[in-house]
Structure 1
Amino acid sequence: MKPAEANSLIGRTMRQSMRRAVRMPAALARGLFGAPVRNDRGAPLDLQTHIMLKIIEAGGTPRLEELGAEQARTIFRRTNQGFDITSRPMHAVDERSCPGPDCALPVRIYRPHPTSARRPAACVFYHGGGFVIGCLDSYDGFCRALAERAGCVVISVDYRLAPEHVFPAAVHDCVAAFRWVREHADALDIDPERIAVAGDSAGANLAAVVCQQQFIDQQTAPFYQLLIYPKVDSSAAYLSHELFGEGFFLTRALITWFSSTYMADADAFDPRLSPLLFKELHALPPAMIITAGFDPLRDEGEAYAKRLTSAGVAVSHRSFDELIHGFISLGGVIDAAQRAVDDIAVEFGRALGA
C-alpha cells in the first residue's frame, strides 16, 4: 500500500470512529462527560465538540509542542485528514509549482465544475498550523469544500515552515505566490479582477499580511480577504488567551511553541507578525473575518475586525459561538463545523460575485 493510500485509510477509519462516538445520545454523553461548558458570554460549547474533546483528552493524545516539528506535522496531517470534510469531487485538481524567492513552491489548484461561461474568481489559500506544521494535504478537504460551495478556483500554497525557515520566509513565499497567480491569471483561466486571499489561523495572518504588503509595494490589492480565526497580534495578551488556553484544541503552550519557533528573535511589533498594528488599514480590501466562541484567538480576531471597520474597510464578521479553533478541519466529524464551513463558503462566493 502506498503512503498516500495508507494515510487515506487511516483518515477514513478515524473519521468513522469519531463520527459514531460524538453521535451518542445526549443523555449518555452528559452522564459520561458532563454538560458542555459555557464561555464568558454564556454560549454553550457544541455537544459533539464537547464529546470529541473529552475523548481526545481521555486517549492521552500527545501534545504537539512536546514533539519535534516533523512528528508534529505527521500527527497534524493525519488528524486533519481524519476529521476533515469528506473529499468532494472537483472538475480538476492540478499539482503545480510557482517560483518563490528562494525555491519553487508547490501549489494545488482546485477547479470546481463550471457554472457559467465567464472566467471564475480565484482564491489564494494559505493553510494554518502556527507557521510550523500543516501542508497541502492537511487542508485538502476544506479547499475542495471552499471551491465547490464558493464557486471559485482555490490555489493552495505550500509555503516554507519554521524552524527550517523562520520569519519572514513564509511572508515572502506567500506574497510571491499571490503575485504569481495575478501574473498568470490568463494561463490559469481565472478572472484577474477577482483574485482573493484566504487562510486560517497562521494562514489568515499571512493572508492579511499579503494585503498589507501589496499596498506597501504599490501593487494591486487582493479583491477580498477571508480571515478564519486569524492570528493577528503577537504583541499583546488577550482575555481569550487565558479563558480558552487549555482544553479547547489550541493551547497557550502550543501557541508559545509556534511563536517562538517562527519568530526567533523578530520583533513582535512588526506588522508582518502582528498585522493588527499596521498603520494604513484604510487601504486594505474588504474582509470577511471568522471567529469561534471557544478559541484563544477569538479576541484578537474581533479586535482586527473592529479596527478595520473603524478605518472604513467593509467587514463581515461572523462568530461561531459554539465552536473551537480549527473547526474548518472538523467538518467530517462535527455537524456544526460542517454547517459553518458551508455558510462561510457560500458567503465568500457571494462576496466574489461567483
Structure 2
Amino acid sequence: MVLLLGILLAVLTVFVAVALYYEHPKAEIPHGFSQRQKLYVLHFLMNFGFGLGKFLERIGITKDIYLLRVIMDGIPPLKDKHLLIKDLSFEKVKVRIYHPKMSTTGQRRGVLYFHGGVGLFGSIQAYERTCRHLAWKSNSVFVSVGYRLAPEHPYPAQFEDCVTATIHFLRTAQDYGVDPSRIIICGDSSGGTLTAAVAQALVKRRDLPKLRAQILIYPFLQSVDFDLPSYQQNKAVPILLKERIITFGLRYVNKDVRLVEKINDWSHIPEDLKLKYKKWVSADHIPQEFKVRGYQPSPTLPMAEEISETLRLFIDPVFSPLLAEDSVIAQLPEAFILTCEYDVLRDDGLLYKKRLEDHGIKVTWCHLQEGFHGTIFLAFWGGLVAFRSGEKGLEKIVNFLRLM
C-alpha cells in the first residue's frame, strides 16, 4: 500500500509539474541554430524543473529556489588525478582551491572564480567540473568562491564575499604558490557581474597587487535598458528568457516580481539619469551587424514615481557595473569578454567592450555565433546537454589564461 501511494504521488507530481511547465514562456529558437532539437529538449527539462519547484512550493514541501539549487549542484565528479583539491575559508568566506599536480618552474597564475546563478543558486559543487577543467588545462591555481546566497543573505552580501575572498587571496597568494602579479578574476552570468564589480571596487586600492585580468563570460552588466537588440531578438531563446532574468533579478534584491512590467517599459529610471546613461547604454552603440536579426526602437514610458526609490539599487554599479563612472573604467585591468549570439545579455558584453576600449583598456573578445546563455556551464556535463559552442568557448578561455 505504501509503495502504491508513493507511485501515485510521483505520477501526480509529474503531471502537475508538466501542467505548470506550460505556465512558463515558450521557447523560440532561431532557424539558424544547428542544434535546435537538442536545445528544445534542454528547454523542456528546465521548464519541467521550474514547474516542479513551483508545485512543491505551492503544496508547502520546499521553496522552488531550494529545488533549483539541488538540481544545479547535480552529482559531484569522482576524485581527480590531476589536481590537489582542498576546502578552506578566506575570512569566513568558503572557498575550494584546485592546485595542479604537474610540476612547474616558479609560481603559477591564480584565478578566482565567481559562479553564476543570479545570486540565488549555484555553488562550489555546481561548478566543480568547471573549475577542475580550467585549473588543469591552464595549469593554474583556481579558487572557487562559495559566496552566500540570497534570499537568506540579502544583496549585496554576494559582492561583499567576493571582494573579501579576492583581497585575502591577493595578500596571501604566495602561500599557495601563486605569483601575486598574475591573479585573474573570472565569472559567468551573474558571476560575470560580480567579476566586473570586484575589479571596479579594487582599482583605487594602493595596498594590494593589481589584478592581472578579468574574464567575463556572458555577463549581466546593466539593468537600465531591457529592450536592446539582444533582448528583442533573444527574449524567448533558452535558457535565459527575458522574463526569467528580470523576475530572478527582482527576487535577488528581494523586490516584488510584479514590477516586471514596469521594468520592461524602462519606467523605473528617472528621466535625468536616462539621459546620462544613454551615452553608455544605447542601441546606437551596438554594431549594425547585431541588428540584422531584427530591432525596433520602442518608446519608453515616464518614470513610475512609486517604484523609482524601490529600484534605485538597480543603477548601483555593484548591480550594474556598466554604469560605473569613467574614472573607474579607465583604471580597470585587461579583459576577456565572451558573448553569445543567442543570448539576451549579448549586448551587455558588447557595450562593456566598447567602454573599456574607449578608455584604452585591452579587450580580448570571443563571440560564439551559435552560443546561448549557459553553454559554457553545460559543456562539462556531456551527452544530452553539451553543445559545440560551449566547447569552443572553453578552448578560447583556456588559451587566454595561458597567456597571462
1:239 CA displacement: 2.2
Matched, 1:275 2:321: yes
CA separation of 1:58 and 1:91: change in aligned 2, threshold 3 A: closer
Residue pair 1:309, 1:315 contacting (<8 A) in 2 also: yes
CA contact (8 A) 2:375 2:387 kept: no
Quick check: 1:95 aligned with 2:82?
no
Q: Secondary structure at the match of 1:184?
A: helix
Counterparts in 2 of 1:196 and 1:322: CA distance versus 1, 3 Å:
same
Match of 1:229 in 2: 218
Map of 1:96-111 to 2, 5 A cutoff?
96-99=88-91, 104-111=92-99
Q: What is the rounded CA distance, in whole Å, between the counterparts of 1:156 and 1:344 in structure 2?
A: 20
The unaligned stretches of length 5 or more in structure 2 are 1-27, 55-62, 255-309
1:257-276 residue pairs with structure 2 within 5 A?
257-264=247-254, 265=310, 266-276=312-322
The answer to whether the aligner puts 1:299 opposite 2:285 as a matched pair is no
Shift of 1:149: 1.6
**Equivalent residue for 1:202, pick from 176, 185, 190:** 190
SS in 2 for 1:347: helix
Q: Name the SS for the 1:172 alignment partner.
A: helix
Match of 2:396 among 338, 341, 344: 344
What is the aligned partner in structure 1 of residue 282 from structure 2? none
Kindly indicate whether the alpha-carbon contact (under 8 Å) linking 1:175 and 1:210 is maintained by their aligned counterparts in 2. Answer: yes
Out of 291, 307, 310, the position equivalent to 2:358 is 310
Greater relative contact order structure (CA < 8 Å, 6+ sep) = 1
1:206-237 deviation line (CA, Å, top 9, x unaligned): 01111100014444431100100011111222
1:62 to 43, 49, 67: 49
| Partner Cα separation in structure 1 for residue 38 and residue 73 of structure 2 | 18
Question: Match for residue 129 of structure 1?
Answer: 117
Residues 127, 200 of structure 1: 8 Å contact kept: yes
Say if 1:230 and 1:301, in contact at 8 Å, map to a contact too: yes
User: For residues 73 and 291 of structure 1, what CA distance do their matches in structure 2 show?
Assistant: 25
Relative to structure 1, is the Cα distance of residues 326 and 338 closer, same or farther in structure 2, using a 3 angstrom cutoff? closer
So what's the TM-score if we normalise by structure 2?
0.70
How far the C-alpha of 1:178 sits from its partner, in A, is 0.2
> Cα gap change, 1:115/1:302 in structure 2, threshold over 3 Å: closer, same or farther?
farther
Distance in 1 between residues matched to 2:82 and 2:173, nearest whole Å: 20
Deviations 1:117-174 (A, max 9, x none): 2110000000000111100011111111111122211100000111112221111110
Question: Matched residue of 1:249: which SS?
Answer: coil
Could you say if the C-alpha distance between residues 268 and 162 of structure 1 is closer, same or farther in structure 2, counting changes exceeding 3 Å?
A: same
Cα displacement string for residues 318-345 of structure 1 (whole angstroms, at most 9, x for unaligned residues): 0011021001122123251453244223
Structure 1: which 5+ residue stretches go unaligned?
1-34, 39-43
Structure-1 separation of matches of 2:371 and 2:86: 32
CA distance in 2, matches of 1:192, 1:261: 37
| In 2, Cα distance between equivalents of 1:91 and 1:77 | 20
Shift of 1:113: 3.0
Task: Look up the SS of the partner of 2:153 in the other structure.
Answer: coil
Could you report, residue by residue, the CA deviation over 1:78-126 in whole angstroms, capped at 9, with x for unpaired residues?
2xx59xx998643301111111xxxx22111111233422110000000
Q: 1:186 to 1:278 in 2, by over 3 A?
A: same
Tell me the SS of whatever aligns to 1:248.
coil
Alignment of 1:165-180 (within 5 A): 165-180=153-168
Counterpart of 1:253, as a letter, is E
Q: Indicate how the Cα distance of structure 1 residues 86 and 315 shifts in structure 2: closer, same or farther if over 3 A, else same.
A: farther
Tell me which residue corresponds to 1:288. Answer: 336
Q: Does the 8 Å CA contact 1:233/1:274 hold for their aligned counterparts?
A: yes
Q: Which one of 378, 400, 404 corresponds to residue 330 of structure 1?
A: 378
> What is the identity, as a one-letter code, of the residue corresponding to 2:354?
K
Contact 2:223 2:315 in 1 (8 A): yes
Q: Is the 8 A contact 2:82 2:102 kept in 1?
A: no
**Within the alignment, does 1:75 sit opposite 2:71 as a pair?**
yes
What is the distance in 2 between the residues matched to 1:86 and 1:292?
31
In the alignment, residue 203 of structure 2 is paired with which amino acid? F
1:285 positional shift: 0.0
1:14 corresponds to which residue? none
Distance 1:36 1:202, change over 3 A: closer
Aligned length: 303
Matches within 5 A, 1:6-17: none
Q: Residue type matched to 1:68 in 2?
A: D
* Worse-superposed segment, 217-226 or 57-66: 57-66
Task: Return the TM-score normalized by structure 1.
Answer: 0.79
* C-alpha displacement of 1:61: 1.6
Query: For residues 56 and 111 of structure 1, what CA distance do their matches in structure 2 show?
Result: 33
Aligned to 1:37: 30
Q: Output the CA distance in 2 between the equivalents of 1:275 and 1:223.
A: 19
Letter in 2 for 1:95: D
